[in-house]
Every structure is written in structure tokens, then in C-alpha cells.
């Protein structure tokens, strides 16, 4: 089975958050499949020094060195990545077999554009990690979104965002997520683990996309019934709650929360960290602990 790494040079780059719900589902799936403890073994990202290329380094030896760094970061000691270059449409591909050897092909342009070899490899090696984990989404599109999300959330995918460059004369983006979606996943990781990836970015556009993604990620923590919700959100939530209590019917919120039952009335909403839905009784101020990612949330229900 072959898998490809998104687009490369000269592409029209989509912006915004068209895949945001699939990204959130992917984060939930990582916590469910790996567990909180395993996810938090990736609190430190792959450092830039491990994927840096010297100008005079042999590309064939260097690409094996970087692939080895990816394998160690993902704790795949019995997996061997055999990497080669060839002319191809995609940035890279990998054959997902039983292992322990996995054959990765990278676009031959990376022999001269070595700066982004680590980005291309982070996606392909993550395919191997998820394959061995038995975690996949149905359909090529959603599975590639899962792969990009996992690479970013588990500490190697910051390279994919740093490979994003856009100017009047040339454009490049690797992976399937938009730049802002990569920024969003890296920001979710930063908020969960306390690690700021922005000093590693060499691309100004990557830094801007991360800043936008961070703003979006912070909005997740300010949606009702979370206590940090803004005035407008709290007002809308209170209005919806009264409508449900008076009419005893469900009211679509558009904010992610939903009221359920009547005795007692409950509200469900996505955890701002892992997006698993949480259900609690409607009874004013409560402190809630997410059973999946262990986040402690202050709520005003």
C-alpha cells in the first residue's frame, strides 16, 4: 500500500480551517488509542539539530540519519526505514508492509532542497507509526489528515509547517492540512504540554500560521459552558438553557454544546484539550475532569 505526502512546489495553497472537525476527531483518536500516559511521553518535540543538514552532507547518508532520528523519536526501535529518491508527483510515499523494513521514496528535488527532508520524512514515518499502531481513518483524505495531525501533535510535525513558504515568486506546502490547521494542532500541543515551537520556525509564513492557529486553539477554551467563555457566549448559553428548561426541547447551539434529558438536565460539550465530549448535570459552577486527557475544567453550567 502506498501513501503520499501532500503537495510540493508551485501549488495553490488553501488557507483557513476546512478540515478542522477531522483534525479534532484525530486528536481524540490519538488519546483513545495511545492513552494519556503514552501521549505525554511525547512532551518534547524532535529538536531542530537532529534534522539539520549540512551543505556538504551526502544526501543519501543524511536522509538515513534523519529517518533514524524520526524512528527514535517515535520509539520504533525495531523498524528500519530504507529511503531513496525518485522523480514523482508527490513529496514522498511509503510502502506499508509487515516490516521491520519500510521503503520510503522522496521526491528527487529533496536531494538539492535538503532543508525540507525532515518535513517530508515526518509524514511518511508517521504513516508507519500509525500502521503499526493499527490506527486509521476510512478514506484517503481523512487518513492523511490523521497522519498530519498525529505528526504535529506527537512532536515531529512542526517541520511540516516550517516547510510552508509563500511569496510572489514561489510557493511550497507539504502535507494535507492548511498552514493554519498545522498551526492549530501545534498550538493544541503547546497548550497541553507547555512547549512553544515558534522559536524553531525559519519560515515567516509558518510563524504567522502558528499565531493564527494559536488564536483558534485558545478559542476552544473560551466556549460555553466553560467558565472562561466570554460575555456573548455566556449570554447565549443562558438563553439556550432557559429555552430548554421552559420548552423541554433540544436547542441547536452552534457553539458545540448540547442539552440532554430533563430530570436531571445535562449538558454535553467537547473537551478543549482532546475534544472528547463531556456530559455533566446543569447545576451552576462545577469543576470537571476529562476522563480521557485528564484536563480539569472550570465550568458554569
- Give the pLDDT confidence of 175-232 residue by residue, as tens digits: 999 999 999 999 999 999 999 999 999 999 999 999 999 999 999 999 999 999 989 9
Residue 78 pLDDT > 90: no
Picking from 89, 73, 93, the residue whose alpha carbon sits closest to that of residue 4 is 93
Return the pLDDT at 55.
79
C-alpha cell at 222: 473560551
pLDDT band at 10 (very low <50, low <70, confident <90, very high): low
224-228: long-range contacts at Cβ-Cβ below 8 A with a sequence spacing of 24 or more? 224/255, 224/257, 224/269, 224/300, 225/257, 225/267, 225/269, 225/299, 225/300, 225/301, 226/269, 226/272, 226/297, 226/298, 226/299, 226/300, 227/285, 227/298, 227/299, 227/300, 228/298
Average pLDDT score over the chain: 91
Sign of torsion, CA 37 38 41 42?
A: negative
> What pLDDT, on a 0 to 100 scale, did the predictor assign at position 1?
38
Higher per-residue confidence, 158 vs 243 = 158
Percent of the chain with pLDDT over 90: 72
Instruction: Tell which wins on pLDDT, 98 or 274.
Output: 274
pLDDT at 15 (0 to 100): 95
DSSP type of residue 50: G
Q: 8 or 91, which is more confident?
A: 91
**Predicted pLDDT of residue 186:** 98
Q: Identify the three-state secondary structure at position 167.
A: coil
Region 38-49 average pLDDT: 96
Assess whether pLDDT exceeds 70 at residue 11: no
Given this model, what pLDDT does residue 260 score?
A: 87
Least confident of 39-43, 57-61, 99-103, 122-126: 99-103
Q: How confident is the model at residue 4 (pLDDT cuts 50, 70, 90)?
A: very low
Question: What is the reported pTM?
Answer: 0.93
* Mean pLDDT, residues 106-111 taken together: 91
> What's the pLDDT score for residue 249?
62
Share of the chain above pLDDT 70, in %: 94
Report helix, strand or coil for 259.
strand
State residue 206's pLDDT score.
Answer: 96
E strand spans, 96-161: 101-107
Q: What is the mean pLDDT of residues 133-158?
A: 96
User: Of 44-53, 144-153, 231-240, which one has max mean pLDDT?
Assistant: 144-153
The mean per-residue pLDDT over the stretch 90-104 comes to 84
Q: Which of 47-51, 228-232, 262-266 is predicted with the least confidence, judged by mean pLDDT?
A: 262-266
Amino acid at each position: 500500500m502506498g501513501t503520499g505526502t501532500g503537495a510540493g512546489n508551485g501549488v495553490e495553497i488553501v488557507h483557513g480551517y476546512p478540515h478542522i472537525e477531522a483534525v479534532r476527531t484525530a486528536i481524540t483518536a490519538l488519546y483513545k488509542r495511545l492513552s494519556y500516559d503514552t501521549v505525554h511521553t511525547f512532551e518534547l518535540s524532535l529538536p531542530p539539530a537532529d534534522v539539520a543538514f549540512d551543505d556538504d552532507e551526502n544526501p543519501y547518508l543524511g536522509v538515513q540519519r534523519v529517518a533514524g532520528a524520526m524512528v527514535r523519536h517515535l520509539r520504533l526501535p525495531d523498524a528500519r526505514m530504507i529511503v531513496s529518491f525518485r522523480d514523482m508527483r508527490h513529496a514522498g510515499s511509503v510502502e506499508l508492509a509487515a516490516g521491520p523494513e519500510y521503503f520510503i521514496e522522496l521526491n528527487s528535488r529533496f536531494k538539492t532542497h535538503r532543508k525540507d527532508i525532515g518535513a517530508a520524512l515526518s509524514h511518511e514515518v508517521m504513516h508507519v507509526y500509525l500502521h503499526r499502531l493499527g490506527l486509521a481513518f476510512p478514506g484517503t483524505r481523512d487518513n492523511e489528515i490523521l497522519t498530519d495531525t498525529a505528526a504535529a501533535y506527537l512532536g515531529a510535525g512542526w517541520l511540516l509547517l516550517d516547510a510552508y513558504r509563500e511569496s510572489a515568486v514561489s510557493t511550497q506546502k507539504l502535507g494535507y492540512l492548511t498552514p493554519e490547521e498545522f498551526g492549530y494542532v501545534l498550538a493544541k500541543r503547546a497548550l497541553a504540554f507547555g512547549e512553544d515551537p515558534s522559536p524553531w520556525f525559519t519560515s515567516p509564513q509558518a510563524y504567522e500560521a502558528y499565531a493564527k492557529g494559536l488564536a483558534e486553539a485558545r478559542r476552544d477554551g473560551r466556549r460555553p459552558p466553560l467558565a472562561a467563555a466570554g460575555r456573548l457566549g455566556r449570554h447565549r448559553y443562558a438563553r439556550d438553557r432557559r429555552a430548554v428548561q421552559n420548552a423541554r426541547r433540544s436547542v441547536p447551539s452552534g457553539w458545540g454544546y448540547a442539552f440532554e434529558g430533563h430530570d436531571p438536565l445535562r449538558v454535553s460539550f467537547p473537551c478543549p484539550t482532546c475534544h472528547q465530549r463531556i456530559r455533566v448535570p446543569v447545576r451552576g459552577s462545577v469543576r470537571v475532569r476529562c476522563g480521557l486527557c485528564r484536563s480539569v475544567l472550570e465550568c458554569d453550567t
